[in-house]
Amino acid sequence: MTTTSAIPNAPAIALSPPQRKAALWRTGLLAALAWLALGLLALAWPNKEVGFSDWAFTDEFGYAATALALLLAALSLSAASKVASRAVYLLRPAGQWLVAVPLLLGVWEVLTAKLGVLPSPFFAPPQSLIEVYAEDWPRLGLSTAHSLRLLVHGFASGAAVGFLVGVWIGWSRIAGYWVHPVLRFLGPVPASALLPLAFFFAPSSYAAAVFLIALATGFPVAVLTWSGVASVNKSYYDVARTLGASESFLVLRVAIPAALPQVFVGLFMGLGAAFSVLVTAEMMGVKAGLGWYLQWSQGWAAYSNMYAALIVMAALCSGLITLLFKVRDRALSWQKGTVKW
């Protein structure tokens, strides 16, 4: 039997009915039903009028959920088309989350805006976050920009110093004898415990915050860089020396590349520590930032603003970790045969 695929330049074969049925994205349809139920819940069930419960943007929240439901339904039913199949391909790994998120939002909405089981203003419904992002985005955006700038300065400084110190300790016996004990003694001290000293000696509150973030970042980077350099197989050095390699070549071309997997583990740990110190540092004297915004929100009992800032901080941290993963994959692409991924 002659098949169409054997003919040169043959046109694409149309999907048969069984293939079209298989191309349906059933999880997407289930997610569409969940989002539609959430939209109807927000629109049809009146909010409970108790205290602070006059929640704005309730209708907008319901319309947005309904629109997302219609979009998911359209993609699921037309998954065989070229454009929709690409979108479904990107959304398919998150299919179960697309079902779970509207269910969780629905429970949140019922317990806060509809029944008032969770008291306001300590617990705000989902639409209150829309109100914050729509009306207070200049202040929140400025705080995010300040936090990002502070985090980049502190993390980059701490990572650079920690990397150099780790290479120095791992390569030099003298540094290993004198510097390593000091690092092990002072490194575990929480950076936030040095907050009074940092603000006393630093020329400005911003410089103190950068120093604290750099200190929190530098310790794990230095320790893991030292561990990576010290654990390099000695036969690598012997082979390089046999070929006439200099000391600088051994450090730059042998020790550091072999230690990079450990270095990136230290960077991941340092990034988490930097975010923890960021909030503490911005609550002490800094005029803007997410930590300052959280303190301001708590002072005015604006808990919706606080939750919105926490979501922004979580998204920022997640985005930076994803970016660091991309950098790691690119930097260690030549080691994929020897490093466990």
Q: What is the pLDDT of residue 3?
A: 45
The candidate with the shortest Cα–Cα distance to 308, out of 143, 179, 181, is: 143
Q: Is the pLDDT of residue 43 over 70?
A: yes
Tokens of 97: 């989350």
Q: How confident is the model at residue 12 (pLDDT cuts 50, 70, 90)?
A: very low
Q: Is the pLDDT of residue 319 over 60?
A: yes
Whole-angstrom distance, CA of residue 278 vs CA of residue 149: 11
- Tell me if 263 sits within 8 A of 206, measured CB to CB: no
Task: Kindly calculate the radius of gyration of the chain based on its CA atoms and give it in whole angstroms.
Answer: 27
* Mean pLDDT for the stretch of residues 275-290: 81
The candidate with the shortest Cα–Cα distance to 86, out of 94, 77, 75, is: 75
Q: Is the pLDDT of residue 164 over 80?
A: yes
Whole-angstrom distance, CA of residue 287 vs CA of residue 297: 14
Q: What is the pLDDT of residue 336?
A: 64
Q: Is the pLDDT of residue 341 over 60?
A: no
Q: How confident is the model at residue 11 (pLDDT cuts 50, 70, 90)?
A: very low
- Tell me if 142 sits within 8 A of 321, measured CB to CB: no
Tokens of 198: 């940092």
Whole-angstrom distance, CA of residue 209 vs CA of residue 150: 8
Q: What is the pLDDT of residue 1?
A: 44
Place of tokens 């082979």: 239
Q: Is the pLDDT of residue 227 over 50?
A: yes
Whole-angstrom distance, CA of residue 145 vs CA of residue 340: 36
C-alpha distance from residue 331 to each of 99, 242, 243 (Å): 36, 27, 26
Tokens of 168: 């120095």
Q: What is the pLDDT of residue 17?
A: 43
Lowest mean pLDDT segment, chosen from 92-96, 97-101, 117-121, 327-331 = 117-121
Lowest mean pLDDT segment, chosen from 183-197, 207-221, 311-325 = 183-197
Tokens of 274: 């930097």
Task: List the end-to-end C-alpha distance of the chain, in Å, as a whole number.
Answer: 46
Whole-angstrom distance, CA of residue 331 vs CA of residue 341: 13
Q: What is the pLDDT of residue 316?
A: 92
Extents of the domains making up the chain: 14-123, 137-335
Q: What is the pLDDT of residue 178?
A: 85
CATH fold of 137-335 reads MetI-like fold (1.10.3720)
Whole-angstrom distance, CA of residue 115 vs CA of residue 49: 9
More confident residue, 49 or 165: 165
Q: What is the pLDDT of residue 50?
A: 61
Query: What one-letter code names the amino acid at 292?
Result: W
With the C-alpha atoms ordered 57, 62, 68, 71, is the resulting torsion angle positive or negative?
negative
Whole-angstrom distance, CA of residue 64 vs CA of residue 71: 11
Model confidence over 233-277: pLDDT tens digits?
888 888 888 888 888 888 888 889 889 999 999 999 999 999 888
Q: What is the pLDDT of residue 214?
A: 93
DSSP 5: G
| DSSP class per residue in 273-296 | HHHHHHHHHHTSS-SSSHHHHHHH
pTM above threshold 0.75? yes
